[in-house]
A = this chain, B = another copy of it.
Amino acid sequence: MSIKLADYLFTRLRQLGIRSIFGVPGDYNLHLLDFVQPSGLAWVGTCNELNAAYAADGYARTNGLSALITTFGVGELSAINGVAGAYAEKAPIIHIVGTPARATQDSRALVHHTLADGEFRRFADMASHVTVAQVDLKDPRLVPDQIDWVLREALIHNRPVYLEVPDDMVDVLVDASNLPSVICIPLAPVTGHEPVLLGRILERIYAATRPLILVDGESRCMDILGDIDRLVKTTDWPTWTTIFGKSLVNEQLPNVYGVYAGSLGDPQWKDYFDSADLIINMGPHYSDTNSQNFTTIPNPAVTITLANTYIQIDNDVYRDTHPSSILPQILRNIDSSRIPRVTGPAKSVKEVNQLKPSDSITQNDFYRIVNSLIREDDLVLTETGTAAHGGRNMVLPQNTRLFGPATWLSIGYMLPATLGATLAQRERTNNPESRAILFIGDGSLQMTVQEISTMIRENLNVVIIVINNEGYTIERAIHGRKQSYNDIAPWRHAQALGFFGADDKPARQNYFSAWTWGELDAALRDKRIQNGTGLRIIEVFMGREDVQGALLRLMEKQIADEY
């Protein structure tokens, strides 16, 4: 039995749970796009390709996998920064590029969307730096296995892959006989060391006197979140996350503390960490920004690390045993009566300032106040900048997923990512009331603002909280506090909804602004914010140099250095 290449590809994507594809049409991909909707997939055209990649990233983090279609050269290069971010922070995007017909490429014709030098391999070469596998679908005999291989690579590594589809290959027939077996991650054979490892882990658990659990961000895509939840509940041990790991455990559990911040955070927490004799460390991701400048990486001498491709206990590394295999075994074999009962440090109680309704809104108290808006099943997205720093301290209801920046930190990412994540959430839960709350600074908003129109077109329920502090305040904290390069052109956010195509009445009624706590309170209580639908904006004005936490220390250092 045979099938057209495009039908084969899109059938595979459907089988893997993809419902929508993001991208931008271009003349080398138009024939391919003809096959999207007939195969039961929705086409979500975005305003530009970088935004499409960001949206696909958000979709992949929520759905487990996503697809992006761009055109050769211009389209794929516009998207490449978004693909790189998905590589850095593990979001598997299937990046499909419509390329010139094989005859055109073979003849080295000087066609448009090339550098007019007859060279067609440059862009694939560039993509190879930010994708884990690449295929160029040029021979029908190879196509089914190429597609299956590259999709499996994406699933295994949770990172983007790159497929080139020459324009004349779209409707060639390929063998369909692979299709009945759905692609999945093959199980690794059980290695001989697995029983030994299991025994060592259990022994360490039973012997612990000051244990803790640390959940890092790569856990998200290791298929272990359910088991982590069970481990946290079964042991009742003090549990923290990293910045990247936030929201991957239920923050409502009494033994879950929040984000561990090393010497920048609660000193009692740090004491507990420093004197721990067992740290169960899952999904590690050791970038400077995720590890508070490398200070929260657990001491290997007391740590059991469950990483995607290895398990480390003390200084012994076991390869080819996967956490998704060993963690269920731990839970099955553990003798609950032998789990040490421990008391963790006190939970941080932050001194709460009394806020007058007429006072200006400040970073220091803002996230605590706005925390009340978040309810179960919400998606919360906090863009790089003061929003991400503030979001770390919010306490989330259960089943609330938060996406914040970990390592790539490309500003502008979070708004299109919200588009993708919210769409995936709606599809996944089949709940038209699925909702997202995006916290974003005015500088970041300018980068990718046009996707507000795509959110409106897709009828997504999103509350955008725009923090207007007249520019790149996080950079003012780092360097150039008074430098004009950290300023931006002022916009009238009140007009955003109307400009981007919302109907007249919602465009007027769904915008709120707040300079004071009183105004913020009124906006948060408004029924359109609490129970409304569609896109809503709350613009919150804060000081140009208003920062808190670690950023405040940077700002203070800078001010001190000025004298």
Contact = CB atoms under 8 A, between A and B. Distances in A.
Interface stretch (A4-12, A110-118, A248-256, A426-434): A110-118
Contact of A80 (B80, B479, B480): B80
A109 interface: yes
Contacts of A288: 109-112
A120 to B, nearest CB: 12
A114 B407 contact: yes
A478 interface: yes
Interface string A434-471: 00000000000011111001101100000000000000
A449 B30 CA distance: 24
A74 B78 contact: no
A73 interface: yes
Chain A interface bracket (under 10, 10 to 19, 20 to 34, 35 or more): 35 or more
A84 B115 CA distance: 7
Contacts of A112: 287-289, 407-409
A377 interface: no
A490 interface: yes
A518 interface: no
A126 interface: yes
Nearest to A85: B74
Contacts of A450: 446-447, 449-450
A30 B480 contact: yes
A73 B84 contact: yes
30 contacts: A25-B472, A27-B479, A30-B479, A30-B480, A31-B479, A45-B487, A48-B448, A50-B50, A77-B84, A78-B81, A80-B126, A88-B115, A111-B288, A111-B289, A112-B289, A113-B408, A113-B409, A115-B130, A116-B286, A122-B130, A126-B129, A446-B453, A457-B489, A489-B500, A490-B501, A491-B500, A491-B501, A492-B498, A492-B499, A492-B501
B454 A489 contact: yes
Query: What are the 6 A-B residue pairs with the smallest beta carbon separation, nearest first?
Result: A77-B81, A74-B410, A30-B479, A47-B446, A453-B489, A495-B499
A321 to B, nearest CB: 22
B285 A116 contact: yes
A149 interface: no
Contacts of A85: 74
A261 interface: no
Nearest to A33: B485
Contacts of A33: 480, 483, 485
Contacts of A499: 491-492, 495-496, 498-499
